[in-house]
């Protein structure tokens, strides 16, 4: 890690930042961070998978405005000059995007392009939330940004995977041919407070099952490994990337791997009681195993994930208990 | 090959068919075939890479109508019920799509979706022209439809490759979630009369250089192989696929391979004189070698390419001589 202070939005002059998907999990944490740092934030969401409660958190804040809109049909912002357009709108968990395949495709194509056009018109930066799903079912482990991926273009997950690959392609096209100042991150599995309780991914499932006193659902025998990044680490990486002049994609994720059974034990420990485990058959489209190569983020941002899974799950459980139960 | 006659549009009742990209190379040959078979054709093109001369060929035909429009912004058709919407609009040669990266991305996303919506509204079939470029720089030779490809999502060719992968994904999404009767073909290198003389791909280059009496340009040492399908074979495969109930992607291409030097000799033979060859350095983004596995088309359509490269180049040269020189 570099010894000189790393530039981030924490030390920049006040910015005016528009965030699509502001009522989503990652979007809402960005809103919180930028408001805390003194920036002005315009949130946009259509609540297709975002949560009204994530908007309500900031609705009284003097530097927060909210626009309810479907960004695939345009971003109706008419205010002062923006410094950043950050495109975080999209269903992101498999049950959600498979419920809304066409909307997911549209927010990747028209939604991204509307964001790029808005950024271009304002001379603002454009920040794309892409995903480790662009690597598909990878043949290379861990995945560096130079790996081109292994995605089925016609599969049931392609509405998300191909939408995000397209979003990267059009972001690069606007960067190359129209000079837009762009950033692309590929977000690996991330968890934390304010995810939808029905998100469907394992840490959220475990935390909410534990809080409700239900058995933990483990698909398969639980020996498969996953890696998880706590939301605060992701937000720190985003904030640093905004301040450097780098236009290629950057992986942001935590490479530490755990088996599902290890996670189940960990949450039992945090609850100070042994939680029952209910084994179920693996779904046909079981999420593929991915593990980020984070050398790029280390090198250009001096960034490393700092929150271990024990402390991240604990923070998540405490927050969610207060928020929902 | 099956011994029973294979259904094709040649034997179907008269259809009303809208073709986007009707002034393009493949589009114009589809218009010609369908008019000859007694169908009604509505052509749509914005001439970004199509040629006005390809519309003029049919402008006096009583069953042909032309709409000049950019299908990425909507398809302004208000006529009688359509049987088919065939989406063939897109810049397709590397120099063209790299000149219009954003337009190429848009016609793959918004253009495809506008076609799907029109087909849905009319209860019509939707036919997508996809491409062997979805296989990218393949690690599997020859490429079957089940191969997921190896495409760089952020490269200079991604504006075309990712647009077509997205087009396939949204076509499958409308098929699965909205019941649209869809077809997808992946077109491998195809040549014939009515390509743009500046198309930039090797057979077109050679034919026009020969007709102009110029030396043939060979990039690299000419030992690299390519395979080429004559346009009539492609059109026959399209016509047959319209008549079968099959929704997965179908490769249409000619697996016979030739080195560039063999092609250069062939065109010298056809001209009955030895043409000079001018070697140039390979461009950085030299088209990747691909060769179709055509088992699917053989099995479900009883289709095989029938025109060999000697006779196809001869037909092309004669036609282009009359058309242009």
Query: Which residues of chain B neighbour A110 with C-beta distances below 8 Å?
Result: 109-110
Find out whether A98 and A156 touch, Cβ atoms under 8 Å.
Answer: yes
**A106 close to B (CB below 8 A):** yes
pLDDT < 50 regions, chain B: 1-2
For B247, the closest chain A residue by CA position comes to A154
B249 interaction partners in chain A (CB closer than 8 Å): 154
3-state secondary structure A139-154: CCCCECCCCCCECCCC
d(CA A319, CA A192) in angstroms, rounded, equals 9
CB pair distance less than 8 Å for B158 and A172: yes
Flag if B158 and A148 touch (Cβ within 8 Å): no
pLDDT of residue B298: 97
Which DSSP category does A288 fall into?
P
User: DSSP letter at A132?
Assistant: G
Put simply, the answer to whether B169 touches A178 (Cβ < 8 Å) is: no
B151 contacts in chain A (CB < 8 Å): 148-149, 165
Query: What phi and psi, each to the nearest 5 degrees, are found at residue A278?
Result: -115, 115
**Phi, psi (deg, nearest 5) at residue A195:** -70, 160
Nearest-CA distance from A135 to chain B in Å? 10
Chain A CB within 8 Å of residue B148 CB:
yes
B119 touches chain A (CB under 8 A): no
CATH of B9-194+229-255+289-306, one of 1.10.10.10, 1.10.3720.10, 3.40.50.720, 1.20.1050.10: 3.40.50.720
Helix (H, G, I), strand (E, B) or coil at B28: helix
Instruction: Report yes or no: B170 at the A interface, CB cutoff 8 Å.
Output: yes
| Domain locations along chain A | 9-194+230-255+288-305
Give the max Cα distance, chain A. 58
Residue whose structure tokens are 């350095």: B281
CB-nearest partner of A148 from B150, B176, B249:
B150
CA separation for the pair B169, B155 (Å, rounded): 20
Residue B225 β-bridge partners: B259
Q: Tell me if B297 sits within 8 A of B250, measured CB to CB.
A: yes
Which pLDDT score is estimated for A190?
96
Measuring CA to CA, how many Å separate A276 from each of A90, A218, A267?
Answer: 34, 10, 11
To the nearest 10 degrees (0 to 180), the angle between helices B158-178 and A158-178 is 150
ipTM higher than threshold 0.85: yes
Altogether, the residues listed in chain A come to a count of 325
Q: Does A151 touch chain B (CB under 8 A)?
A: yes
Q: Does B110 touch chain A (CB under 8 A)?
A: yes
Cβ atoms within 10 A of the Cβ of B226, count? 21
Please tell me whether the overall predicted TM-score, pTM, comes out greater than 0.80 for this model.
Answer: yes
Report the gap between the CA of B115 and the closest CA in chain A (Å).
14
Contact between A251 and A297 (Cβ < 8 Å): yes
Q: From the candidates A97, A104, A173, which should be mutated to test the interface with B, based on the most B CB atoms within 10 A? A: A173
In CATH terms, the fold of domain A9-194+230-255+288-305 is Rossmann fold (3.40.50)
Q: pLDDT averaged over consecutive 10-residue blocks of chain A (325 residues)?
A: 72 97 98 98 97 97 98 98 98 92 98 98 98 95 96 95 98 98 97 90 90 90 90 98 98 94 91 88 72 97 96 92 85
For A124, the 3-state DSSP assignment is coil
- Residue A1's pLDDT is 46
Q: Does A283 touch chain B (CB under 8 A)?
A: no
Chain B residues near residue A74 by CB distance under 8 angstroms: none
Q: Any CB–CB contact under 8 A between B152 and chain A?
A: yes
Query: What contacts 24+ positions apart, CB below 8 Å, involve A221-224?
Result: A221/A279, A222/A259, A222/A260, A222/A261, A222/A264, A222/A277, A222/A279, A223/A259, A223/A260, A223/A261, A224/A259, A224/A260, A224/A286, A224/A289
Q: Are B96 and B159 in contact (CB under 8 A)?
A: no
- The pLDDT value recorded for residue B283 is 72
pLDDT, tens only, A274-324: 889 999 988 766 656 789 999 999 999 999 999 999 999 999 999 988 888
Output the pLDDT for position A209: 92
Q: Do B153 and A169 touch (CB under 8 A)?
A: yes
| Contact list, A156 vs chain B (CB under 8 Å) | 176
Residues of chain A numbered 235-274 and touching chain B (CB < 8 Å): 248-249
Integer CA distances (angstroms), A155 to A93, A134, A136, A152, A181, in order: 16, 13, 11, 5, 33
Residues of B with active-site annotation: 160
Calculate ∠ Cα A229-A234-A236, nearest 5°.
135
**Pairing of β A225-227 and β A257-259:** antiparallel
| Tokens found for residue B312 | 């196809």
Contact B101 A159 (CB under 8 A): no
CB contacts < 8 A (A, B): 111
Dihedral sign computed on CA atoms, order A93, A158, A164, A308 = positive
Tens digits of residue pLDDT in A218-241: 988 888 888 899 999 999 999 999
Q: How many C-beta atoms surround the C-beta of residue A322 within 10 A?
A: 9
């Amino acid at each position: 890690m570099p010894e000189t202070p790393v530039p981030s939005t924490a030390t920049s002059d006040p910015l005016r930042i528009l965030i699509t998907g502001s009522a989503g999990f990652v979007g809402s944490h960005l809103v919180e961070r930028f408001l805390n740092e003194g920036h002005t934030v315009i949130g946009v969401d259509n609540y297709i998978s975002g949560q009204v409660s994530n908007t309500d958190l900031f609705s009284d804040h003097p530097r927060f405005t909210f626009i309810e809109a479907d960004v695939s049909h345009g971003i109706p912002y008419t205010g002062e000059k923006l410094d950043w357009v950050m495109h975080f709108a999209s269903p992101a968990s498999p049950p959600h995007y498979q419920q809304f395949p066409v909307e997911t495709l549209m927010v990747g194509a028209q939604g991204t392009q509307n964001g790029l056009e808005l950024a271009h018109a304002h001379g603002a930066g454009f920040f794309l939330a892409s995903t480790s799903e662009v690597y598909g079912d990878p043949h290379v482990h861990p995945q560096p940004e130079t790996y081109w991926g292994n995605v089925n273009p016609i599969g049931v997950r392609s509405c998300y995977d191909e939408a995000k690959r397209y979003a990267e392609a059009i972001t690069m096209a606007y960067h190359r041919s129209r000079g837009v100042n762009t950033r692309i991150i590929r977000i690996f599995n991330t968890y934390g407070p304010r995810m939808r309780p029905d998100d469907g991914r394992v840490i959220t499932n475990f935390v909410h099952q534990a809080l409700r006193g239900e058995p933990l659902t483990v698909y398969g025998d639980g020996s498969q490994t996953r890696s998880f990044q706590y939301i605060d680490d992701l937000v720190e990486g985003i904030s640093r990337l905004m301040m450097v002049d780098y236009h290629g994609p950057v992986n942001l994720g935590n490479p530490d791997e755990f088996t599902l059974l290890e996670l189940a034990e960990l949450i039992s420990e945090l609850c100070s009681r042994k939680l029952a485990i209910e084994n179920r058959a693996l779904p046909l489209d079981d999420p593929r195993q991915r593990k980020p190569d984070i050398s790029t983020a280390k090198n250009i941002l001096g960034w490393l994930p700092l929150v271990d899974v024990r402390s991240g799950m604990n923070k998540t459980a405490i927050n969610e208990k207060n928020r929902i139960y």
